[in-house]
């Protein structure tokens, strides 16, 4: 019987070594340690053995049982570790793989240009301010010396907005130029004033290669005691040098705007032909980039300032024109078409 036990033990342990799955473990346990196992049968039959044999066989059977239980525990432990290692291997994240590139947006070319212009003026001590796009007739026209029947209104086809107040209808519009903010600033801020006003403006016009019903302007306004035309020219020369380059020639000529006196226009030498004359500059060699002038005394008065004490200068330019001139773009509408193939180039 002792020999039987010994054989049983080595058979069981032998089988145990080839097990590699938890389910096989359970059937092994039932087979060798279960209620119906050979070992249990031997242990139960001990009572029928003669006393001296009973002792030896009993001790041996208990040892075998302990060894098998021990083997089972070790095997279970080994299986658990194997499983853990396998799942760690399977679920491993390879952190050496490159990530998915995130598409990064960029600023619109018009916005880039606005930032550039604003920062040039900011470095000369100008503040950047904004005003409403839906505006009273008063600020866009009346207070800027453009009364009802004034011909200057014809040059700015206006988009009107119906607006009723308690006292009746008051004319509102989509501002046709950022100059509309000038009076608002004079009303609210005491001089010295040095501001640039970037923003959207609207005109009732069909789109074509050089017109869109909405576009960007930037206006400037300086008011203080003793401001002269020399300040205007110096400031705008400096701007042109910084924006277009040191060697680009700049020209001032007389022009008329109702809200300035005298009025002027500034042109730069054509970038395409270098002044010789080409299609871009209409064979003149020059490209107008802004209107300007000394703030009209009546406009100062409309803004609540005394023209005997204060003088000022103002200027205004279309922002879309600048990247057009710089990059030789032949259609303004491209800026507002949201075509990424175009926009990604800037």
Residue numbers of the site for ligand DAH (CB under 6 A)?
Answer: 177, 179, 219, 257, 260, 291-293, 314-316
Antiparallel, parallel or unpaired: β 260-269 and 172-174: unpaired
Q: Which is nearer to ligand DAH, 75 or 177 (CB)?
A: 177
Rounded distance, CA 36 to CA 254, Å? 117
Instruction: Specify the residue, 61 or 260, whose C-beta has the smaller distance to ligand DAH.
Output: 260
Q: What minimum distance in Å lies between the beta carbon of 281 and ligand DAH?
A: 19
Quick one: CA torsion of 305, 310, 311, 317, rounded to 10 degrees? -50
In whole angstroms, the minimum distance from the beta carbon of 248 to ligand DAH comes to 21
Q: Minimal distance in Å, beta carbon 318 to ligand DAH? A: 8
Pick the closer one to ligand DAH by CB: 71 or 291: 291
- ∠ CA 52-53-54, nearest 5°, is 90
Q: How far is the CB of 130 from ligand DAH (least distance, A)?
A: 15
Distance CA 134, CA 77 (A): 78
SS3 74: helix
Is the CB of 219 or the CB of 269 nearer to ligand DAH? 219
How much of the chain is helix, strand and coil, in % rounded to 5?
Answer: 45, 20, 35
Q: Quote the least distance from Cβ 299 to ligand DAH, whole Å.
A: 9
Within 10 Å of residue 277's Cβ, how many Cβ atoms? 15
Nearest residue (CB) to ligand DAH, 139 versus 315: 315
**Sign of the dihedral through C-alpha 271, 272, 276, 281:** negative
- In whole angstroms, give the CA distance from residue 311 to residue 225: 6
| Closer residue to ligand DAH in complex, CB, 137/219 | 219
- Cβ closer to ligand DAH: 179 or 302? 179
In angstroms, what is the minimal distance from the CB of 290 to ligand DAH? 7
CB 344 to ligand DAH: min, Å? 30
Of 146, 167, 166, nearest to 156 by C-alpha is 146
Strands of 172-174's sheet, edge to edge? 134-136, 172-174, 160-161
Of 61 and 183, CB closest to ligand DAH: 183
For the chain, the first-to-last Cα distance in angstroms comes to 94
- Minimum CB separation of residue 221 from ligand DAH in Å reads 7
Please give the angle made by the CA atoms of 278, 280 and 281, to the nearest 5 degrees: 70
């Amino acid at each position: 019987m002792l020999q039987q036990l010994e054989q049983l033990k080595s058979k069981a342990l032998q089988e145990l070594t080839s097990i590699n799955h938890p389910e096989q473990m359970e059937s092994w346990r039932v087979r060798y340690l279960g209620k119906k196992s050979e070992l249990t049968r031997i242990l139960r039959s001990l009572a029928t053995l003669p006393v001296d044999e009973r002792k030896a066989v009993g001790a041996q059977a208990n040892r075998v049982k302990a060894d098998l239980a021990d083997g089972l525990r070790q095997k279970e432990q080994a299986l658990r570790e194997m499983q853990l290692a396998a799942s760690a291997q399977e679920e491993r994240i390879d952190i050496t793989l490159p990530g998915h590139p995130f598409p990064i947006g960029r600023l619109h070319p018009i916005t880039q240009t606005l930032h550039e212009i604003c920062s040039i003026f900011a470095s000369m001590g100008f503040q950047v301010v904004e005003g409403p796009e839906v505006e009273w007739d008063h600020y866009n026209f009346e207070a800027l010396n453009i009364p009802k029947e004034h011909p200057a209104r014809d040059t700015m086809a206006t988009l009107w907005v119906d607006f009723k107040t308690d006292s009746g209808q008051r004319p509102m519009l989509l501002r046709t130029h950022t100059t509309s903010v000038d009076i608002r600033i004079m009303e609210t801020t005491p001089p010295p004033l040095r501001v640039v006003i970037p923003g959207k403006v609207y005109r009732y016009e069909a789109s074509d290669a050089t017109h869109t019903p909405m576009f960007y302007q930037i206006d400037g306004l300086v008011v203080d005691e003793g401001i002269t035309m020399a300040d205007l020219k110096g400031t705008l020369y400096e701007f042109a040098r910084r924006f277009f380059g040191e060697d680009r020639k700049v020209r001032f000529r007389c022009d008329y705007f109702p809200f300035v006196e005298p009025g002027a226009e500034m042109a730069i030498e054509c970038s395409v032909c270098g002044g010789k004359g080409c299609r871009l500059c209409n064979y003149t060699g020059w490209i107008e980039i802004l209107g300007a002038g000394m703030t009209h005394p009546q406009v100062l008065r409309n803004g609540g300032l005394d023209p005997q004490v204060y003088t000022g200068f103002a200027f205004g330019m279309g922002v879309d024109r600048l990247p057009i001139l710089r990059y030789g773009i032949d259609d303004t509408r491209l800026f507002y078409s949201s075509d990424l193939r175009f926009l990604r180039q800037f």
